[in-house]
Structure 1
Amino acid sequence: MQPHPPVEQAGHPRRWAILGVLVFSLLVVVLDNTILNVALRTIADPRQGLGATQSELQWAIDSYTLVFAGLLFTFGVVGDRLGRKRVLVAGMVVFGLASLASAYSRSPEQLVAARALMGLGGAAIMPQTLSIITNVFDPGERGRAIGIWSGAVGLAVAIGPVTGGLLLDHFWWGSVFLVNVPIVTVGTIAMLLLVPESRNPRPGRIDPLGVLLSVVGLVALSYGIIEGGRGGSWLEPMVLGPVAAGLAVIALFVWHEARSDHPAFDVRLFRDPRLSVAVGSIAFCFFATSGVFFFGSFYLQSVRGLSPLQAGLMMLPFAAAQLIFSPRSAAMVRRYGAKAVCTTGMLLVTLAMAGYQLCDESSPLWVFGVVAFVQGSGMANVMPPATESVMSALPREKAGAGSAINNTARQVAVAMGVAVLGSLVASVYRGDMRDLLARLPESLPEGVRHAAGESIEGTLAVAARLGPAGEGLVGPAHTAFVHGMHVAAVGSAIVAFVGAMLVLRWMPGRAAPEPPLADSGPRRVRQRL
């Protein structure tokens, strides 16, 4: 009888319990953003929330995602060096404290700063979860485990909006952040009890210059894009200057990373087509879909008049699709190949983005639900095969780097998607409303007149202040917002389609190289026993 394979290859004996703990910790990161999407309208309300403008709401999202993305690779290396469990627990604690600070913010600026601190904690959490999964599962079970890990995103999408709606129906807006605290507490205790410590025996060095360049470049680029949408003009120095500076710093970052022996983001790994195309598919997918979550909340609540809870329930079809298809994607990849599954997923996302053209001021709400289900189905068939392709392209000791690459692509895409698509909605809205708002009574304070043109919430607030005289603003505001949403959705569909074509052309299919013998051999031994 052949000897049993080593535990390292067979997987940790408590690997499924460990996976449950890691999925639970992942929920706190994803749950926060899905809850925030439902709360955007409330935070924008000057009476119930902070009176945040659309650009300030974009920064509340992007301050989190940019810090998250800028530090992901560094925390992957830190986890490889100091211990993944130790960094994971520290990240949970920071995330919990930052959630408290967000809940009790007294201004949009304080909320933006607290969200940035949450991004710091999230950056410490996310890469450790995937790298620990890669270490405690052998390659034969890794695809299934990653599918469950990815499916947790769908679960968070289901829990987040509904939970946010329930909280906003009974408590103040800060409760959507305060709910993170018990999750952090329970998750941290479970980690200390169950998750094993692991390290890379040959960890890399930290690259402070690379981290600084990446964060500065992305923040400058995002600032310029958001400023363009806020001001309605893309040719002003305050727009072109930051955009040009951001692109220049990002180019310097890539040049530096390609020559560093301890890069913060190893761009040389992209020479492997399995990794580069998979990362590209993740980026295109999340760029295309991120704007929907941003403007979808305003569409459902400001245009269609739904409560936060009702708006949260409208996201259940998306979540159901994630839960149904993500755990099954590994089997689909084995049967049809990663290229076919990922391309199909990207085409479904394209179809969903185009489908938002059917949603207007009077369309049946079930249309939005159907489109959301198609979108969730597509994303569920992009993320697991792409993530597995990224992780399988690297040796096990590089798990932290692979996880960071995967999640950095996603977070940068979300930040850029919210900045670009949110600014596109704002720019179209401002242009459509310009002539109408110019006829507002001159007796209104200048600040009120300015706020009326910032966003649909600003216009509706001025309409309520004017009473019967402001009723003429409501219909045009709805129409202008829907127009902006449709334009952004077309842009998203184009981006998703380009991603599908890149995957179809470049992602390896079933003929991709087999895993190294050291990984695949023990799995075949167990199958014979």
Structure 2
Amino acid sequence: MHRRRWAILGVLMLSLLIVVLDNSILNVAVKTISMPAPTGLGATQSEIEWAINSYTLVFAGLLFTAGLVGDRIGRKKILLGGLVVFGIGSALAAESGSPGELIAYRALMALGAAFVMPATLAVLMNVFEREEQPKAIGIWAGGVGLAIAIGPITGGALLDHFWWGSVFLINVPIVILAVALMVWLVPDSRDPKPGRVDPVGVVLSVIGLVLLVYGIIKGGELADFTDPTVLATVAAGLAVLVAFVLFEKRSDHPSLDVTYFKNKVFSAAMSAIALVFFALMGVTFFGVFYTQSVRGYSPLESGLLMLPLAVAQMIFAPRARLVVDRFGNRATTTAGLILIAATLAVFATFEADTPIWLLELVFFLMGTGMAHIMTPTSVVIMQALPREKAGSASALSNTFRQVGGALGIAVLGSVLSAAYRSGIEDKLGPVPAGLRDTAAGSIEATLGVAARLGPQGKALVGPANDAFLHAMHVTALCGTGVALLGALVVALFLPGRPPADQQGEREQELIAAAD
């Protein structure tokens, strides 16, 4: 037992905090970044989607490999290297001169983050004895919830006082502190029998996902999902992902063991995780434009408005096991997804003057639904596979969460973009012909062009708000359909409440898997 283990846990949580914090901080900054220079970068909606997804896709694609590399060459070395790369990427992102640069530097940040996250858990397991591991893991997981809660507020406070790049530059001093503490406190460790790295699988998975997401985002940008370029890119992405699955099935050291998915219960639980993050990331993406562009709230106020979502997760996630014990995994998860679907359906009724308490209630209920999905699905995943597979099952659920979120932003963001463009195009008569295509790109683009036109442009503000609200309603209903699909999948395939004599046995299996 390491005598400084609790101090080491603090350093690991600091490292984890900035990696998770970065995405939730960015959520409130997307409107500012989409504003014309010098306030923002003048990023289009598709460029904003890529700024989020370039991070998510690289992070998800490298998560498994990063864990294996850490096992092989040493977790401390990987943690230090990952933090340094993340810090350099953050500094470069803060000074980006164009949306393209921001997208590239976000991908570099993700490269560092992918090596930090699995290494923190591996070091934790090494410095804590078996009996203290569940408590330490609980505190570690609580750090993720804390980051989700404080990210939008931190981002909003920075944007109220500094320029948009401050949401990335804030990472640099934290990285320097974490690196210094890690050099001093954290012992190195490695796996005596590390797994083999699967570079071909990693490359195929990342290329396939990038092509798929690119095609979806391009379809929204063009407001035409039947465009030959869009169809060809999506088809190419799907073909590469099929090749990835076939390669993994034949590999003796796959980065993704596809045989896990022969288990219907495991597949259903993974689907639920992916679909809930699909809906959540999509709604936070358009929710920021609703609160800031339509309702006129500042970035800090917008961040505070999202606080009920995080608070509900922090209240209910630790207690969701009690609901599962009483009603079973199937009923709890199905109810959680139906609640998510209901909140998205309510979003489809919001107007510019909807009482703000109703938005707060919707966010709270959404967080409640998420808490009652994530806990039972985590239980199911751990119980569906042999105990020795607990580590890879956990990494896989994290990967599916990231990919589900990326696809949520791509698909729902593209629906929002296409619906907005079709709603605003015939209202752009006062706009010079050369600016009409730009003005139709997003509500921020329309408002930016309107500001440049002076008094003549004021007539565009009302139609822009109306077009956005219509697009948000369409997007929210699409998210509702996705959540209901998830509810149907888990209702059909997740196990119900086990007989009383199996309950204690399953509890012991779960505790052992968490160990």
Secondary structure at the residue paired with 1:358? coil
Matches within 5 A, 1:201-350: 201-334=192-325, 336-350=327-341
The structure 2 residue matched to 1:464, chosen from 410, 435, 451, is 451
Tell me whether 1:483 sits opposite 2:474 in the alignment.
Answer: no
Q: 2:12 is matched with which residue? A: 22
User: What displacement does 1:193 show?
Assistant: 4.8
Seq. identity, %: 55
Tell me whether 1:37 sits opposite 2:27 in the alignment.
Answer: yes
TM-score, structure 2 as length reference = 0.91
Hey, what's the Cα distance between the residues in 2 that align with 1:405 and 1:131?
A: 15
Q: 1:87 is matched with which residue? A: 78
- My pick for the range that moved more, 513-522 or 461-470, is 513-522
- Report the residue type matching 1:123 in the other structure: A
Query: Is the contact made by 2:334 and 2:491 (CA closer than 8 Å) also made in structure 1?
Result: yes
User: What displacement does 1:56 show?
Assistant: 0.6
Report the CA distance shift for 1:420/1:522 in structure 2 as closer, same or farther (over 3 A). Answer: closer
Tell me whether 1:62 sits opposite 2:53 in the alignment.
Answer: yes
Hey, what's the Cα distance between the residues in 1 that align with 2:447 and 2:334?
A: 41
User: What displacement does 1:343 show?
Assistant: 3.0
Tell me whether 1:162 sits opposite 2:165 in the alignment.
Answer: no
Secondary structure at the residue paired with 2:48? helix
Deviation per CA, 1:398-448: give whole Å up to 9, x if none: 4552332121101111111100000000000000112112x234xx261x2
User: What displacement does 1:151 show?
Assistant: 3.8
Report the CA distance shift for 1:195/1:402 in structure 2 as closer, same or farther (over 3 A). Answer: farther
- Report the residue type matching 1:306 in the other structure: Y
Hey, what's the Cα distance between the residues in 1 that align with 2:126 and 2:322?
A: 21
Hey, what's the Cα distance between the residues in 1 that align with 2:213 and 2:336?
A: 28
Deviation per CA, 1:338-377: give whole Å up to 9, x if none: 4343333323222222221232211011111111111111
Q: Which runs of 5+ in 2 are unaligned?
A: none
Matches within 5 A, 1:52-131: 52-131=43-122
Query: Is the contact made by 1:144 and 1:327 (CA closer than 8 Å) also made in structure 2?
Result: no
Q: 1:178 is matched with which residue? A: 169
- My pick for the range that moved more, 158-167 or 384-393, is 384-393
Deviation per CA, 1:37-73: give whole Å up to 9, x if none: 1111111111301111111111101111111111112
User: What displacement does 1:282 show?
Assistant: 0.9
Deviation per CA, 1:192-235: give whole Å up to 9, x if none: 45555444443221111111111111111111111110011111
Secondary structure at the residue paired with 2:18? helix
Secondary structure at the residue paired with 1:343? helix
User: What displacement does 1:331 show?
Assistant: 4.6
Deviation per CA, 1:309-345: give whole Å up to 9, x if none: 1111111111211221223334544555443433333
Aligned-residue CA RMSD (Å): 2.8
- Report the residue type matching 1:67 in the other structure: V
Hey, what's the Cα distance between the residues in 1 that align with 2:205 and 2:357?
A: 42
Q: 1:406 is matched with which residue? A: 397
Tell me whether 1:450 sits opposite 2:437 in the alignment.
Answer: yes
Tell me whether 1:419 sits opposite 2:410 in the alignment.
Answer: yes
Q: 1:500 is matched with which residue? A: 487
Query: Is the contact made by 1:32 and 1:160 (CA closer than 8 Å) also made in structure 2?
Result: yes
Hey, what's the Cα distance between the residues in 1 that align with 2:197 and 2:472?
A: 42
Query: Is the contact made by 2:11 and 2:178 (CA closer than 8 Å) also made in structure 1?
Result: yes
Hey, what's the Cα distance between the residues in 2 that align with 1:52 and 1:24?
A: 31
Matches within 5 A, 1:371-386: 371-386=362-377
- Report the residue type matching 1:245 in the other structure: A
User: What displacement does 1:140 show?
Assistant: 7.4
Deviation per CA, 1:445-480: give whole Å up to 9, x if none: 61x222101110110111112222222211111111
Hey, what's the Cα distance between the residues in 2 that align with 1:302 and 1:453?
A: 15
TM-score, structure 1 as length reference = 0.88
Q: 2:430 is matched with which residue? A: 440
User: What displacement does 1:130 show?
Assistant: 4.0
Report the CA distance shift for 1:516/1:49 in structure 2 as closer, same or farther (over 3 A). Answer: closer
Hey, what's the Cα distance between the residues in 2 that align with 1:420 and 1:187?
A: 36
- Report the residue type matching 2:454 in the other structure: G
